[in-house]
Amino acid sequence: MPKIANDLDAFLTQHQSRIEGELFDFLRIPSVSAQPVHDADTLAAAEWVKRSLEQAGLAAAVHATAGHPVVVGEWRGAGPHAPTALVYGHYDVQPAEPLDLWTSPPFEPEVRNGRIYARGSVDDKGQLFLHIKALEAHLRTRGKLPCNVVVIAEGEEEVGSTNLESFIEHNTKLLAADAVVISDSSMFAEGMPSILSSLRGLSYFQLDVQGPSGDLHSGIYGGAVVNPAAALAGIIASMHDANGRVAIEGFYDDVSPFSDEVLAGMRKLPHTDDAFRREIGVKSLGGENGFTTLEKLWTRPTCEVNGMLSGYTGDGAKTVLPAKAMAKVSCRLVPNQDPARIAELFEAHVAKHTPAGVTVKTTYIHGGRPWRADLAGPIFDAAKRAVSAAFGREPVIVGEGGSIPVVGDFERILKAPVLLVGFGLPGENAHAPDEWMSVENFRLGARAMAALWDEYAGS
């Protein structure tokens, strides 16, 4: 089992209470990027990150964008022949509402039962900050890092990273790196450090069904007119077959299977369907026949209704034959499905299943590509050793059913592999009241990321 260097470990132990006090200062800034009332706070958080990077020993600057700024810190003392790593995180947070559901106020961090409760504690201030402190441990102990490191922290992750792709494209020299490291995800379970091997992509649609030019009386007209809500129900029902497979023609054509190794790793994870059922509150699960739950969530594409609206939805009865019906439907995609190609297939399917008597407009709202890590190469090997050193066990390889579009952007623009290693935990309430981060994981995460640079440069 690899070990973390004694000097780094000693620094982080010695400065533990100061570091956690600084984190609390960071968490007190209500940098809610979605709420213009917090624009000054969001800017204050960017300035705070800049100062924190400088305190750690990096040169840092706040870069204006069309939205919230991007903070970049650099330490290039390892020279042009050493590798360069780029660490990404975000300093903005989700809105804290509904406030009355918080046990302690969202911007007054508090430790209870080994957890730091605050908005942004795990998503992503705590995880960004543990990287800064890992760098500080190197620079304050040894005066140098074994590789060059650039840190980029954005303030728009919670509002779609609107300006980040363009910032990366316009700053490829500043951000050029041999590897990208992101800690903005969770471990599979307590005590089980995890590296993310894949993300699903997305194609999100709105369907607008138009029947008669106005709402009709369902008594006077019912039975001779195609009902737009029933037509929409038929279209939605046509999207799956009896085995739970997506029935859109060509939908699976580009799906590239996961490696046996990754699939075998998933089967070893301590997942039970019973616990999963209890977590979400259902009596039985669903989805595509022939796959385990984790395979369904991480390795298989989906087609899910996100919303539906038609006619009268208030109390009691209104005998209306609605003129319109609307649905939001989105597909999660896996490698190598292409969101735009899926949009074409989806539209064709809808058109084919639209009955005469109504028209359907399919709007492709947005999409994102799926992503899969190579899980090979220096940064992954280094991460496995560094995480093992800090946590005392090898990281497991996990998938993720959601999407993080910026991962693909970094990989594509910088042509560098992306390592996703996160220190959150299931149930951490990242976007909900009572968000928390484990104190233990914050401490071990900082040690793992400090060890990462030794392992990366030594590999």
CB of 53 to its own copies, least distance (A): 31
CB of 309 to its own copies, least distance (A): 4
Given the rule CB under 8 A, which of 119-127, 151-159, 326-334, 442-450 is the region that contacts its own copies? 326-334
Q: Which of 51, 112, 144, 318 forms a contact with its own copies (CB under 8 A)?
A: 318
Residues 442, 425: Cα–Cα separation, whole Å: 11
Q: Which of 218, 341, 412, 433 forms a contact with its own copies (CB under 8 A)?
A: 218
What is the separation of C-alpha 102 from the centre of its chain, rounded to a whole number of angstroms? 23
CB of 288 to its own copies, least distance (A): 7
CB of 268 to its own copies, least distance (A): 19
> Which parts of 73-112 interact with its own copies (CB under 8 A)?
none
Residues 202, 164: Cα–Cα separation, whole Å: 19
Q: Which of 36, 213, 260, 376 forms a contact with its own copies (CB under 8 A)?
A: 213
Of 126 and 301, CB closest to its own copies: 301
Question: Where would I find the beta strands (DSSP E) of 80-133?
Answer: 84-90, 110-112, 115-117
Residues 312, 214: Cα–Cα separation, whole Å: 13
**What would the DSSP string read from start to end of 231-281?**
HHHHHHHTTB-TTS-B-STTTTTT--PPPHHHHHHHHHS---HHHHHHHHT
- Among residues 263, 248, 257, 255, the alpha carbon closest in space to that of 344 is found at 248
310 binds its own copies (CB under 8 A): yes
CB of 232 to its own copies, least distance (A): 7
67 binds its own copies (CB under 8 A): no
200 binds its own copies (CB under 8 A): yes
CB of 85 to its own copies, least distance (A): 27
Q: Which of 320, 413, 439, 457 forms a contact with its own copies (CB under 8 A)?
A: 320
209 binds its own copies (CB under 8 A): no
Question: Where would I find the beta strands (DSSP E) of 1-147?
Answer: 59-63, 70-75, 84-90, 110-112, 115-117
Q: Are 459 and 382 in contact (CB under 8 A)?
A: yes
Q: Which of 10, 99, 101, 309 forms a contact with its own copies (CB under 8 A)?
A: 309
> Which parts of 235-294 interact with its own copies (CB under 8 A)?
236-240, 276, 280-288, 293
Given the rule CB under 8 A, which of 14-22, 93-101, 171-179, 196-204 is the region that contacts its own copies? 196-204
The sheet carrying 359-368 orders its strands as: 324-333, 201-210, 359-368
For residues 430, 436, 442, 443, the Cα torsion angle rounded to the nearest 10 degrees is -170
Tell me, by CB under 8 A, how many residues bind its own copies: 79
CB of 185 to its own copies, least distance (A): 11
CB of 277 to its own copies, least distance (A): 9
144 binds its own copies (CB under 8 A): no
Of 28 and 240, CB closest to its own copies: 240
Amino acid letter for position 443 = R
Of 311 and 377, CB closest to its own copies: 311
- Among residues 81, 77, 70, 27, the alpha carbon closest in space to that of 46 is found at 70
Residue whose tokens read 């840092």 = 60
**DSSP-derived 3-state class of residue 34:** coil
Q: Are 80 and 176 in contact (CB under 8 A)?
A: no
Q: Given its phi and psi angles, is residue 374 left (phi above 0), alpha (psi -120 to 50 degrees) or beta?
A: alpha
> Which parts of 344-403 interact with its own copies (CB under 8 A)?
355-359, 365-366, 400-403
CB of 332 to its own copies, least distance (A): 5
CB of 245 to its own copies, least distance (A): 11
Of 62 and 159, CB closest to its own copies: 159
Given the rule CB under 8 A, which of 23-31, 49-57, 225-233, 376-384 is the region that contacts its own copies? 225-233
Q: Which of 19, 187, 196, 216 forms a contact with its own copies (CB under 8 A)?
A: 216
> Which parts of 400-459 interact with its own copies (CB under 8 A)?
400-403
Q: Which of 36, 79, 214, 270 forms a contact with its own copies (CB under 8 A)?
A: 214
Q: 195 forms bridges with which residues in the sheet?
A: 397, 421
230 binds its own copies (CB under 8 A): yes
Of 297 and 449, CB closest to its own copies: 297
Residue whose tokens read 């089967």 = 267
326 binds its own copies (CB under 8 A): yes
Cβ contacts of 162 within 8 Å, gap of 6 or more: 66, 67, 156
**DSSP H or E segment with residue 203:** strand 201-210
